[in-house]
C-alpha cells in the first residue's frame, strides 16, 4: 500500500515490476499514467485550444497524502486487490511529461482494471491538487470539469 | 476561538496570502459561517470568495461541507474545485 507525492519523474514500468515483485499470487497488473498535453482544451472542451508551455501543480501538503491514502483504502475495501501504488507529481512540468501513476495488482483482471479507474475517478474530484497552465497568452488556472464529477458519481450508483 | 485558515490556488492569489490565524467569535461555528465572517471583512476576501466558483473547504485536512463544525485549533482550508490527475 503506497502513496507518493513528489517532484521527480517516475518510471511506470519499473514501478509496476517493483509492485508485483515477490508476489506470485498476482495474476493481473493494471496501470494508468496521466500525461501533460501540449494543447489545452478550447471553450467547448475539445482538443486544439491554446498551446501549453508548462503545467504547474500546486497541492495541500499533508492533506494530499491523506486524501490519496483514503481513496486507496476505499478501493481495497471494494475489490480484492494484492497491492496499489499511486504516485502524483507536483511542481512545474512540460508537455509529454508524466503527471500521475496508478498501479493496481490482483489475482484476476476485473478487480485490477476496476480499482485503477475508480482510484483515478476519485483522485480527479477529491485529491487537493490544482493545475495552472502557462501559455504564450499568460497563465491560467485549469477549471474542474463536470465530466469528472459524473465519472465519480457513477461508482456510487446502487 | 483560534482557527488557522489556509487558502490555495486562485483563491490564494485573489486574497494575497496563503494562511492566517483568526480569532473567531463563538457564533462562527461552521465552515459556511467562517466563510461569511471572512467575506464580511470586505476586500480582498469578499471579492475573492465571490469570484471563485464553487468554493470548497477542508477541516483538519479532510474534505468538509458547509455545515461541518469547527473546534478550537482547527485548520480550515478554502480552495477552488480540485484539478489533479
> pLDDT per residue over B6-64, tens digit each?
999 999 999 999 999 999 999 999 999 999 999 999 999 999 999 988 999 999 999 99
Which residues does chain A have with pLDDT short of 50?
Answer: none
CB A142 to CB B8 under 8 A? Answer: no
pLDDT at B77 > cutoff 60: yes
The 10s digit of each residue's pLDDT in A85-114 is 999 999 999 999 999 999 999 999 999 999
- A43: DSSP letter: T
Residues with Cβ within 8 Å of A117's Cβ and at least 6 positions away in sequence, in order, are A32
Residues of B in contact with A128 (CB under 8 A): 8, 58, 77, 79, 82, 84
CB B82 to CB A100 under 8 A? Answer: no
The pLDDT of residue A137 is 85
Q: Which residues pair with A34 in a beta bridge?
A: A100
A120 to chain B: nearest residue by CA?
Answer: B85
The pLDDT of residue A49 is 67
Model ipTM?
Answer: 0.94
Question: Distance from A101 to chain B by nearest Cα, in Å?
Answer: 9
Distance, in Å, from the CA atom of B57 to the CA atom of B35, rounded to the nearest integer, reads 9
Question: Distance from A120 to chain B by nearest Cα, in Å?
Answer: 7
Residues of A in contact with B83 (CB under 8 A): 124, 129-131, 141-144
Report the candidate in A122, A129, A127, A4 with the shortest Cα–Cα distance to residue A59: A129
Q: Which residues of A touch B (CB under 8 A)?
A: 34, 57-60, 62-63, 66-67, 88, 99-100, 120, 123-132, 141-144
**Which residues of chain A form beta strands (DSSP E)?**
2-6, 28-35, 54-59, 83-89, 91-93, 98-106, 129-135, 138-141
Sign of the C-alpha dihedral computed for residues A136, B54, B75 and B36 taken in this order: positive
Sign of the C-alpha dihedral computed for residues A114, A115, A117 and A118 taken in this order: positive
The pLDDT of residue A116 is 98
Distance, in Å, from the CA atom of A117 to the CA atom of A142, rounded to the nearest integer, reads 22
CB–CB contacts below 8 A, A to B: 71
The pLDDT of residue A157 is 72
The pLDDT of residue A32 is 98
Q: Are strands A98-106 and A28-35 parallel, antiparallel or unpaired?
A: antiparallel
The B residues from 23 to 82 touching A (CB cutoff 8 Å) are 54, 58, 61-63, 77, 79-82
Question: Distance from A24 to chain B by nearest Cα, in Å?
Answer: 30
- A38: DSSP letter: S
Residue B10 preceded by cis peptide, ω within 30: no
The pLDDT of residue A135 is 85
Amino acid at each position: 500500500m503506497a502513496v507518493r507525492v513528489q517532484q521527480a519523474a517516475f518510471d511506470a514500468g519499473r514501478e509496476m515490476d517493483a509492485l508485483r515483485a515477490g508476489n506470485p499470487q498476482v495474476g493481473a497488473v493494471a496501470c494508468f499514467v496521466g500525461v501533460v498535453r501540449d494543447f489545452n482544451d478550447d471553450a467547448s472542451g475539445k482538443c486544439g485550444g491554446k498551446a501549453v508551455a508548462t503545467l504547474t501543480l500546486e497541492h495541500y501538503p499533508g492533506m494530499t497524502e491523506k486524501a490519496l491514502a483514503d481513496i486507496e483504502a476505499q478501493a481495497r475495501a471494494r475489490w480484492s486487490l494484492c497491492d496499489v501504488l499511486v504516485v502524483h507529481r507536483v511542481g512545474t512540468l512540460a508537455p509529454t511529461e508524466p503527471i500521475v501513476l496508478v498501479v493496481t495488482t490482483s489475482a484476476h483482471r476485473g478487480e485490477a482494471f476496476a480499482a485503477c479507474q475508480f482510484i483515478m475517478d476519485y483522485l480527479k474530484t477529491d485529491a487537493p491538487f490544482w493545475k495552472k497552465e502557462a501559455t504564450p497568452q499568460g497563465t491560467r488556472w485549469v477549471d474542474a470539469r463536470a465530466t469528472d464529477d459524473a465519472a465519480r458519481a457513477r461508482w456510487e450508483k446502487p | 476561538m483560534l482557527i488557522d485558515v489556509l487558502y490555495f490556488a486562485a483563491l490564494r492569489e485573489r486574497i494575497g496570502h496563503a494562511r492566517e490565524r483568526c480569532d473567531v467569535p463563538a457564533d462562527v461555528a461552521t465552515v459556511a459561517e467562517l466563510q461569511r465572517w471572512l467575506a464580511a471583512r470586505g476586500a480582498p476576501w469578499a471579492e475573492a470568495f465571490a469570484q471563485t466558483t464553487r468554493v470548497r473547504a477542508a477541516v483538519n485536512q479532510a474534505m468538509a461541507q458547509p455545515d461541518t463544525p469547527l473546534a478550537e485549533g482547527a485548520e480550515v482550508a478554502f480552495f477552488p474545485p480540485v484539478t489533479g490527475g
